[in-house]
């Protein structure tokens, strides 16, 4: 038998060959989220990740919203209208032999509750910083959540094609404001309109950007740091400055140590432009190597290794009516160990019942594909007739409960008044389902005879979303 590295001992449903295959599959999983302040470029970077990962053929193809931007991950009506990303969804693509699960999180502060829960399902985070604005408030909040959870962070300083802050100033700001040492993995060659490439410190290579269409993958070619081509591209003075800076980093910069990165004590920093694609290739190549495979999870009965052969996972998100045509409810499950097989019977510890996971999907914007098998680290969408709740675990045989799925106290309240009293039943159904998604909490004032429900939320924008969804999905107007 192969050695198992878990502290919780679940029954092993696999033979040696199956277990070997499981371990190989789990080792290729990378599950990550992008954290940033709104407008730092998360939508743009997400789209480019999909483009470079071959999941989209042309960036911008899915960005058809008038007067705003839209990625493959933004699919809800209100997101289209408001130009904000409200709900978190999951996008899957393969990159250099890794199976990537990108957890898309809403950037707006009012939806941070959803983001915090989604981060509980991530193993790595990309922290996106706008080089003009530096570290912004929402970035600080999300960074702290990642730090609390011990999630390793890779930093991408975006918009280098604009005249932003000096790279040293940015590193200093990240270190000062967030309290994490920065280790630049690459260094920008030029800035603003003369940002032409990056010097890759880890590979000791200078990469000059080939230019080209923003909607397509564009290459970079290797040159010497003292080549005339580079001097011509950014000017003699800028080149001399780059050489000095690279030398300075070699002697005075924070060294990168993988162990420290994995324990959140250092962040590797990459410079680039998600919009022009300059610097994306080297960033993605390194990111695929940096991002760790699924980590062990803490359960109420001990630590569970990601490659434990018995299947287990937890629900971190529930979304009703993802497909308005089918009026269904999808529970997003992060698999924490073992192998998922469509149709398998699993234990639902909260109710003690056995559930058959017959309808399972993976997502790419509105496109769903049926998933027959998935492994620890993957996210699967489970069709849910109303049984599952956020934080529920599902497992094979022995019950396990996962720790650390956050719950928040609401800070804003509104009383719901129904325009048409005949729609009370629909209102109840809508509010029940939407509150089970965790975006709002439902209360009733016991002291009053009238039983108008009260909604509580962390951010006021959530009320607007609920009002909109009640109208669009349940045909109920509220005042
Ligand atoms: P978000 O999801 O984090 O909110 O940001 P998003 O990608 O929507 O980007 C916000 C704005 O920043 C967009 O401009 C986008 O084009 C721009 N942007 C993103 N990455 C880069 C970059 O690398 N360089 C530059 N210069 N700009 C970048 P917008 O004017 O709001 O929209 P649009 O007119 O481009 O559609």
Residue with CA nearest ligand 1 atom 16 = 275
Cβ neighbours of residue 28 under 8 Å, at least 6 residues apart? 97, 98, 99, 293
The pLDDT score that the predictor gives to residue 406 is 62
What angle in degrees, to the nearest 10, is found between the helix axes of 280-290 and 42-52?
80
Q: How far apart are CA 216 and CA 219, in angstroms?
A: 10
- Compute the mean pLDDT over every residue in the chain, rounded to the nearest whole number: 83
326 or 164: which leads in pLDDT: 164
Q: Which atom number of ligand 1 is nearest to the Cα of residue 128?
A: 3
Sheet of 453-457: strand order equals 412-415, 453-457, 441-444
Write out the two tokens for 420: 């048409």
Question: Does the model's pTM come out above 0.75?
Answer: yes
Cβ of 274 below 6 Å from ligand 1: yes
Residue with CA nearest ligand 1 atom 24 = 159
Average pLDDT over residues 227-238: 86
What is the tens place of the pLDDT at every residue in 284-307?
999 999 999 999 998 888 889 999
Cβ of 105 below 6 Å from ligand 1: no
198: CA distance to ligand 1 center in Å?
21
pLDDT for 135 beyond 90: yes
What angle in degrees, to the nearest 10, is found between the helix axes of 461-474 and 424-436?
130
If phi over 0 gives left and psi between -120 and 50 gives alpha, with beta otherwise, what is residue 88? beta
Cβ of 43 below 6 Å from ligand 1: yes
Compute CA distances 397 → 162, 305, 311, 369, whole Å.
Answer: 55, 16, 9, 27
Cβ of 46 below 6 Å from ligand 1: no
45: CA distance to ligand 1 center in Å?
9
Cβ of 42 below 6 Å from ligand 1: yes
Residue with CA nearest ligand 1 atom 10 = 39
Buried b (16+ CB within 10 A) or exposed e, 45-58: bbbbbbbbbebbee
* Closest C-alpha among 269, 284, 258 to residue 93: 284
What is the tens place of the pLDDT at every residue in 447-461?
655 567 888 887 777
Pocket test for ligand 1, best of 69, 106, 160 (most atoms within 8 A of CB): 69
pLDDT band at 90 (very low <50, low <70, confident <90, very high): confident
Cβ of 108 below 6 Å from ligand 1: no
C-beta of residue 202 within 8 angstroms of C-beta of residue 185: yes
Of 65-69, 125-129, 236-240, the least confident: 65-69
Q: How far apart are CA 301 and CA 402, in angstroms?
A: 9
Compute CA distances 264 → 78, 148, 260, 271, whole Å.
Answer: 35, 9, 6, 20
* Closest C-alpha among 219, 194, 199 to residue 209: 219
Residue with CA nearest ligand 1 atom 25 = 159
Average pLDDT over residues 197-207: 93
Cβ of 275 below 6 Å from ligand 1: yes
Q: How far apart are CA 24 and CA 98, in angstroms?
A: 11
225 or 124: which leads in pLDDT: 124
Of 177-181, 265-269, 387-391, the least confident: 387-391
Pocket test for ligand 1, best of 33, 44, 59 (most atoms within 8 A of CB): 44
Q: Which residues pair with 130 in a beta bridge?
A: 134, 158
Cβ of 161 below 6 Å from ligand 1: yes
Q: Which residues pair with 346 in a beta bridge?
A: 355
**Angle ∠(174,177,179) on CA atoms, nearest 5:** 80
Residue with CA nearest ligand 1 atom 6 = 41
pLDDT for 185 beyond 60: yes
The pLDDT score that the predictor gives to residue 452 is 77
Q: What are phi and psi of 234, to 5 degrees?
A: -115, -5
Residue with CA nearest ligand 1 atom 14 = 39
Cβ of 158 below 6 Å from ligand 1: yes
pLDDT for 62 beyond 60: no
CA 438 centroid distance within chain: 18
Residue with CA nearest ligand 1 atom 11 = 39
The pLDDT score that the predictor gives to residue 301 is 81
What percent of the chain is modeled with pLDDT above 90?
Answer: 41
171 or 433: which leads in pLDDT: 171
275: CA distance to ligand 1 center in Å?
7
Pocket test for ligand 1, best of 39, 42, 50, 131 (most atoms within 8 A of CB): 39
Q: What are phi and psi of 345, to 5 degrees?
A: -95, 130
pLDDT band at 114 (very low <50, low <70, confident <90, very high): confident
H or E, element range at 95: strand 89-95
265 or 325: which leads in pLDDT: 265
Q: Which of the 8 DSSP states describes residue 53?
A: T
pLDDT for 192 beyond 60: yes
The pLDDT score that the predictor gives to residue 60 is 46
Buried b (16+ CB within 10 A) or exposed e, 357-386: bebbbbbbbeebeebeebbbbbbbbbebee
pLDDT for 168 beyond 90: yes
Cβ of 38 below 6 Å from ligand 1: yes
The pLDDT score that the predictor gives to residue 75 is 45
Query: At 124, is the secondary structure helix, strand, or coil?
Result: strand
Find the farthest-apart pair of alpha carbons in the chain and give their distance in angstroms, rounded: 82
Residue with CA nearest ligand 1 atom 36 = 69
């Amino acid at each position: 038998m192969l050695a198992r590295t878990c502290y919780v001992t679940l029954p092993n449903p696999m033979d040696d060959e199956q277990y070997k295959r499981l371990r190989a599959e789990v080792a290729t999983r990378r599950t990550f989220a992008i954290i940033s302040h709104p407008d730092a470029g998360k939508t743009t970077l997400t789209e480019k990740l999909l483009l470079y990962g071959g999941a989209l053929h042309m960036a911008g193809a899915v960005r058809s919203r008038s007067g705003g931007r839209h990625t493959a991950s933004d699919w809800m009506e209100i997101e289209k209208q408001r130009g904000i990303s409200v709900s978190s969804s999951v996008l899957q693509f393969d990159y250099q032999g890794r199976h990537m699960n990108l957890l898309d999180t809403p950037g707006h502060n009012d939806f941070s509750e959803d983001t915090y829960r989604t981060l509980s399902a991530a193993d790595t985070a990309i922290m996106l910083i706008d080089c003009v604005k530096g570290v912004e408030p929402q970035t600080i909040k999300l960074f702290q959540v990642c730090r609390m959870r011990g999630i390793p962070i890779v930093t991408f300083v975006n918009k280098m094609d604009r005249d932003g802050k000096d790279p040293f100033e940015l590193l200093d700001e990240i270190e000062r404001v967030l309290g994490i040492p920065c280790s630049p993995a690459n260094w920008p060659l030029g800035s603003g309109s003369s940002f032409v490439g990056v010097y890759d410190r880890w590979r000791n290579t200078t990469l000059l950007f080939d230019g080209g269409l923003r909607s397509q993958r564009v290459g970079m070619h290797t040159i010497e740091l003292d080549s005339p081509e580079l001097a011509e591209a950014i000017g003699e003075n800028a080149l001399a400055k780059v050489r000095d800076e690279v030398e300075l980093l070699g002697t005075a910069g924070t060294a990168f140590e993988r162990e420290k990165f994995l324990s959140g004590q250092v962040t590797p920093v990459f410079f680039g432009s998600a919009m022009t694609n300059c610097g994306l290739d080297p960033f993605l190549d390194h990111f695929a190597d940096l991002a760790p495979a699924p980590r062990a999870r803490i359960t109420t009965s001990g630590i569970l290794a990601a490659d434990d052969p018995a299947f287990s996972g937890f629900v971190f998100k529930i979304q009703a009516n993802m497909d308005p045509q089918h009026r269904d409810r999808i529970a997003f499950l992060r698999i924490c160990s073992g192998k998922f097989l469509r149709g398998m019977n699993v234990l639902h510890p909260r109710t003690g019942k056995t559930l058959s996971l017959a309808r399972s999907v993976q997502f790419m914007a509105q496109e769903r594909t049926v998933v027959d098998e998935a492994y620890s680290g993957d996210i699967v969408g489970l069709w849910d007739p109303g049984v599952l709740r956020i934080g529920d675990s599902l497992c094979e045989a022995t019950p396990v409960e996962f720790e650390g799925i956050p719950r928040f106290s609401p800070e804003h309240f509104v009383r719901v008044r129904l325009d048409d009293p005949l729609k009370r039943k629909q209102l109840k159904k809508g509010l029940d389902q939407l509150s089970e998604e965790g975006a709002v909490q439902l209360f009733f004032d016991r002291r009053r005879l009238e039983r108008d429900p009260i909604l509580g939320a962390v951010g006021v924008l959530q009320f607007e979303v609920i009002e909109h969804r009640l109208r669009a999905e349940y045909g109920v107007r509220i005042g």
